[in-house]
Amino acid sequence: MKEKKRKQSFPERFKETHICHRLGEEVWINDKAKEHHDEIVEKIAKQSQSNVTNPRSEVQISIDVPGKRSGYLKGYGIRTSTYATQSQAVPNSEVAALKQVMADQGKPIANYGKKFKNMMLFMATKFGIDPATFPELISSSENGEDTLIAHQDGTSTFNEG
């Protein structure tokens, strides 16, 4: 049965890549590498203390100690970006055009809705049904909608607001 490999911490990986095994001994490739490793381990240990108010992540410490180079992390090789980037800064022209088409279609659709309400009120009046039985169809002229005016002779006219 295979064991799952756990992801190495940065200090472990740094040590693994900066030590040579000579005659059964572990020898640092240079003094600077050992100093960096010790500083990284020390800073990570300090971050776990309870008195630290704004702890830094292992990634942040690994950048601060050895120094940062664009796209490269000393002792860790090329690293992937940990920061989110905006994939599309400028809106697509096709999306903008479609949004405009939708906005333009909104007004005619609303007008058709008003006309349908008026037609229903007209039909109700023509067939002797009291329009008050359909309160959702009765509109007021105060809000600018079309209104239906019923006459005594059974005819109706539309008053567009």
Average pLDDT over residues 64-68: 73
Q: Is 28 helix (H, G, I), strand (E, B) or coil?
A: strand
Bridge partners, 19 (sequence order): 28
Q: Tell me which of 132 and 86 has the higher pLDDT.
A: 132
> Higher pLDDT residue, 94 or 85?
94
Return the residue matching tokens 């002797």: 128
Stated as kind and residue range, the H or E segment containing 10 is helix 10-17
Helix (H, G, I), strand (E, B) or coil at 85: coil
Q: How confident is the model at residue 84 (pLDDT cuts 50, 70, 90)?
A: low
pLDDT at residue 83 above 70?
Answer: no
Residues 6+ apart with CB under 8 A from 83: none
**Cα–Cα distance measured from residue 50 to residue 99, given in angstroms and rounded to the nearest whole number:** 52
How many residues appear in the chain? 161
Which pLDDT score, from 0 to 100, does residue 142 have?
47
**Would you say the pTM of this structure is higher than 0.75?**
no
Q: Which residue has the higher pLDDT, 2 or 17?
A: 17
Q: How far is the C-alpha of 39 from the C-alpha of 118, rounded, in Å?
A: 80
